[in-house]
């Protein structure tokens, strides 16, 4: 009986000759379709042995196409970030401007002058691709003084901190306030990085209060640096005291040691211009007397993953001589994206339109609420009959450690279920949203699924609606 059914299954060659598979073969190649056909036939044989009917050739062809399409999907897939956190580390942080994307494509596909001086035909330095632009941006805020600074670029800000400590503090001590011994998501801990760099951490002050005299009293012949870390993902409030950067700088300089600031996010422009909360800038720290500042490329800067070190020329020169710099350096594609992103800062008037991350951060609550009105019915259809979908005010987070207590007024689509076991229905809805061709990432809290629409670019709205209606 089963033998009969097994013999009804077509041979691989006959399957591959199906018109339905011609298109798939043209797109994916003969080998993957052959592999998928074998796998589907094997699965069909299993089913037949278990007593099921033999699938017809058409059904087999369809499941082969489905299998190969799934196989061809990249692992790094785009999602809709409706989590309410704009710079979401697990979702890739900043989105690049088209100018940066275009520059990456050029760098990726043509030989380029990465370490080649076109003017004299000699060897060049990859840092010099972005150093003048950084100097230009610093000069806009601090004038002539910007000339005293140089820059070097590494893989990320964690690498920047590691490299600075390894270059300047190794075997000696760095002084940090207890209020700033932060852990950033993904296991960046200031004390751990210090240990890896061979720097001895000297903690001063208390969790809530550190005074200028704490810095001065900690300095000995072994001290190689005073360090300040931007407390980027929490805020100490109440009875607190921190020491101004100008004051730490003057103590450091009195003893002839450098002062470094790990800014974390570090926007290069004044956010107040767009009504956003004030975030410290590298310009502020350098003007206050910091000798070195480190910050990320893919946080508020809105560029690619990178760590940027700017500061005193002599210190940057020492850092660049460290063999670890070679291990932590960035590639041409990152530098291309960073250069193009920095170039956009020349025209601050249009920055909020051109930098996608800034565009999302500056979207008005009114604009987001209007978008929620447009999408409410579509989501209700997708969520099913027993769902209740409402539009509610939301507070977006900037994320990645920028401005931890500040929130941006936004609007969310909120789904609740009536009746028994709403939690189960919510979990099922959340899973269906994640299973869409472009997964939708929301957040379940207080017996509701919340989709904060701040990061749904209006340009992507049609695609969002289409996939929900197709799956309803």
Closest approach, Cβ 228 to ligand PLP, in A, equals: 10
How many C-beta neighbours within 10 Å does residue 119 have?
7
Closest approach, Cβ 82 to ligand PLP, in A, equals: 23
184 binds ligand PLP (CB under 6 A): yes
Point out which span in 16-24, 94-102, 181-189, 380-388 binds ligand PLP (CB under 6 A): 181-189
Nearer to ligand PLP, 40 or 284 (CB): 284
Sequence-ordered strand ranges (E) for 238-325: 259-264, 292-296, 307-312
Q: Determine which residue in the list 245, 262, 279, 291 makes contact with ligand PLP, applying CB under 6 A.
A: 262
264 binds ligand PLP (CB under 6 A): yes
Q: Determine which residue in the list 156, 177, 357, 387 makes contact with ligand PLP, applying CB under 6 A.
A: 156
How many residues sit in the footprint of ligand PLP (CB under 6 A)? 16
Distance between CA atoms of 108 and 121, rounded to whole angstroms?
22
Residues between 283 and 312 with contacts to ligand PLP, criterion CB under 6 A:
296, 307
Closest approach, Cβ 351 to ligand PLP, in A, equals: 21
Point out which span in 224-232, 248-256, 267-275, 338-346 binds ligand PLP (CB under 6 A): 224-232
Would you give the DSSP letter of residue 117? Answer: -
Q: Determine which residue in the list 83, 265, 410, 467 makes contact with ligand PLP, applying CB under 6 A.
A: 265
How many C-beta neighbours within 10 Å does residue 116 have?
14
Sequence-ordered strand ranges (E) for 206-358: 223-229, 259-264, 292-296, 307-312
Residues between 392 and 411 with contacts to ligand PLP, criterion CB under 6 A:
400-401
∠ CA(125), CA(127), CA(128), 5° rounding? 70
Q: What is the dihedral of CA 87, 88, 90, 94, to 10 degrees?
A: -20
Tokens 């020491």 appear where? 243
Q: Determine which residue in the list 83, 232, 242, 467 makes contact with ligand PLP, applying CB under 6 A.
A: 232
- In which element (H, E) is residue 461 found? helix 461-471
- Quick one: how many helices (H) and strands (E) in the chain? 20, 15
Distance between CA atoms of 194 and 205, rounded to whole angstroms?
18
**Cβ-closest position to ligand PLP:** 264
252 binds ligand PLP (CB under 6 A): no
Q: Determine which residue in the list 188, 345, 382, 464 makes contact with ligand PLP, applying CB under 6 A.
A: 188
Helix (H, G, I), strand (E, B) or coil at 414: strand
Residues in contact with ligand PLP by CB under 6 A are 156-158, 182, 184, 188, 229-230, 232, 262, 264-265, 296, 307, 400-401
């Amino acid at each position: 009986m089963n033998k009969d059914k097994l013999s009804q299954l077509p041979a691989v060659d006959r399957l591959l000759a199906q018109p339905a598979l011609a298109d798939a073969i043209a797109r994916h190649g003969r080998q993957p379709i052959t592999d998928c056909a074998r796998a589907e036939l094997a699965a069909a044989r299993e089913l037949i042995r278990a007593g099921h009917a033999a699938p017809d050739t058409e059904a087999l062809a369809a499941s082969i196409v489905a299998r190969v399409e799934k196989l061809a999907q990249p692992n790094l897939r785009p999602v809709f970030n409706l989590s309410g956190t704009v710079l979401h580390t697990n979702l890739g942080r900043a989105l690049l401007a088209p100018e940066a994307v275009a520059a990456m494509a050029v760098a990726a596909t043509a030989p380029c002058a990465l370490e080649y001086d076109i003017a004299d035909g000699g060897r060049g330095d990859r840092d010099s691709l972005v150093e003048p632009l950084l100097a230009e941006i610093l000069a806009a805020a601090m004038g002539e003084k910007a000339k005293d600074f140089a820059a070097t670029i590494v893989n990320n800000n964690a690498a920047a901190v590691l490299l600075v400590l390894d270059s300047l503090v190794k075997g000696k001590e760095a002084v940090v306030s207890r209020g700033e011994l932060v852990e950033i998501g993904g296991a960046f801990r200031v004390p751990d990085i210090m240990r890896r760099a061979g720097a001895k951490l000297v903690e001063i002050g208390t969790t809530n209060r550190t005074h200028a005299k704490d810095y001065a009293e900690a300095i000995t012949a072994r001290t190689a640096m005073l360090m300040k870390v931007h407390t980027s993902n929490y805020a100490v409030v109440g009875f607190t005291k921190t020491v101004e950067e100008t004051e730490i700088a003057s103590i450091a300089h009195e003893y002839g040691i450098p002062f470094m600031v790990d800014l974390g996010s570090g926007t290069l422009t004044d956010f107040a211009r767009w009504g956003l909360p004030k975030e410290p800038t590298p310009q502020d720290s350098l003007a206050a007397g910091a000798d070195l500042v480190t910050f990320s490329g893919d946080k508020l800067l809105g560029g690619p993953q990178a760590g940027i070190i700017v500061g005193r020329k002599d210190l940057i020169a020492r850092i660049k001589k460290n063999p670890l710099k070679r291990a932590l350096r960035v590639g041409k594609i990152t530098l291309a994206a960073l250069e193009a992103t920095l170039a956009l800062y020349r025209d601050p008037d249009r920055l909020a339109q051109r930098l996608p991350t800034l565009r999302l951060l500056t979207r008005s609550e009114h604009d987001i609420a209007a978008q929620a009105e447009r999408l409410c019915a579509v989501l209700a259809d997708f969520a099913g009959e027993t769902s209740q979908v409402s539009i509610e005010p939301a507070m977006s987070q900037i994320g990645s450690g920028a401005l931890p207590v500040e929130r941006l007024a936004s609007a969310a689509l909120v789904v609740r279920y009536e009746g028994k076991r709403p939690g189960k229905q919510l979990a099922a809805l959340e899973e269906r949203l994640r299973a869409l061709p472009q997964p939708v990432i929301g957040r379940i809290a207080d017996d509701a699924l919340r989709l904060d629409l701040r990061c749904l670019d209006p340009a992507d709205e049609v695609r969002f609606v289409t996939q929900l209606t197709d799956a309803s």
